[in-house]
Homo-oligomer: A and B are copies of this chain.
Amino acid sequence: MAADKAVRGRFFEDFRLGERIVHPTPRTVGEGEAALYLGLTGSRFPLASADTAARALGLARRPLDELLAFHVAFGKTVPDVSLNAVANLGYAEVRFLGPVWPGETLRAESEVIGLRPNRDGRAGIVWVRSRAFAQDGREVLAWVRWVMVRRRKPGGGGPEAVVPETADHVPPQALPVPEGLHGRGYDTALTGSPWLWEDYEPGERIVHPAGMTIDETDHTLATRLYQNNARVHFDAHAMASSRFGRRLVYGGHVISVCRALSFEGLANAVWIAAINGGTHANPVFAGDTLYCRSEVLARWALPGRDDLGALRVRTLGLKDCDPATVDEPRDGEGRYRPEVVLDLDYTVLMPRRR
């Protein structure tokens, strides 16, 4: 009799602390993927937009958008890590180690660094440290994430709880600066924004004025492009009987749209060096219009560099409201207000004024 071929993904019982998972389906990401990513986000950040801009900033040509590379690498981990996720709880220490060039092939692997069974015996939390590599073995991305994964069979027992420590943020001295990237002689005519690193003050708030409505094909096209097969994004028939009643927009698409919208106010944030943490505070559905607002959390010099500096930024993604009117993202009881969809803490590199 033939073996059962059903693909069910890993359940909580299937993870072992310290285990290394090599994720399948490597992916070549080329100029076609780059073009479609621009079409899906409308991003105007200079590095991924034009070869001439990339060369002015010290790179050989336009690299893939950092988030495109991330979403593809992340998508590789979904079949092994989160196909049976109840909730994607968080991520940390996301580091963009260097450019991925069009035509390069990404593969990913993960190490299980933490496990904690839920008390109710129905699920448990899995922490993984994931890394993505180009075809030449170069590590290009690294991150930690944790997800609550269903058990195959509800019940007690399971591994002793091991909860890893994750950094509150990637510190300035650990921020990766892509090889060759520099801010020497940077011409703000590239982006049309005169504001450079020195012009941003910790505590400053920036309202990004534009909004972007997400339609069904927008997010499903993006998520399929990343070969992310999480079913909640694609299957309206099954989701009709979920508590949401419909498909969920992939949180990564929300991040990408907010990043693109943040161009108006942070145009010279030429490179995302790290994501320190993020929460998808409320679901996004097709038909929602996204806006965002940022706050500068810190302004850091980079060791040995007078051409580029770092800004730690908190961007709130909001839906169907005026982003200038949202003061506090949480209500008096500490819960996110219903219009908040993303609370992202990340660090960008920006040319310094000379």
Footprint of B on A, CB under 8 Å? 1-3, 5-8, 22-28, 30-36, 38-44, 46, 49-53, 62, 79-80, 103, 105, 107, 135, 189-193, 195, 199-201, 204, 206-207, 209-213, 215-218, 220-225, 227, 229, 231, 234-238, 247, 264-267, 287, 289, 296, 320-321
Contact = CB atoms under 8 A, between A and B. Distances in A.
Contacts of A200: 2, 5
A221 B40 contact: yes
A213 B236 contact: yes
A211 B192 contact: no
Contact of A210 (B25, B231, B247): B231
A174 B289 CA distance: 46
B209 A7 contact: yes
Given A22-B189, A26-B49, 7 more contacts: A8-B209, A32-B32, A43-B227, A52-B105, A215-B216, A217-B221, A237-B289
B7 A225 contact: no
Chain A interface mostly helix, strand, loop or mixed? mixed
A49 B320 CA distance: 37
20 contacts: A2-B200, A5-B265, A24-B193, A25-B191, A27-B49, A30-B35, A32-B36, A33-B38, A35-B35, A35-B225, A38-B225, A42-B225, A42-B234, A50-B105, A52-B105, A210-B235, A211-B237, A213-B236, A217-B221, A237-B320
B215 A220 contact: yes
A288 B283 CA distance: 23
Given A2-B199, A23-B192, A44-B227, A234 B217 contact: no
Contacts of A213: 216, 220, 234-237, 247
Question: Among the interface residues A3, A199, A222, which one has the most CB atoms of the partner chain B within 10 A?
Answer: A3
Contacts of A53: 25-26
Nearest to A104: B51
A5 B195 contact: yes
A135 B212 CA distance: 30
Contacts of A287: 236
Question: Among the interface residues A26, A209, A237, which one has the most CB atoms of the partner chain B within 10 A?
Answer: A237
A213 B221 CA distance: 11
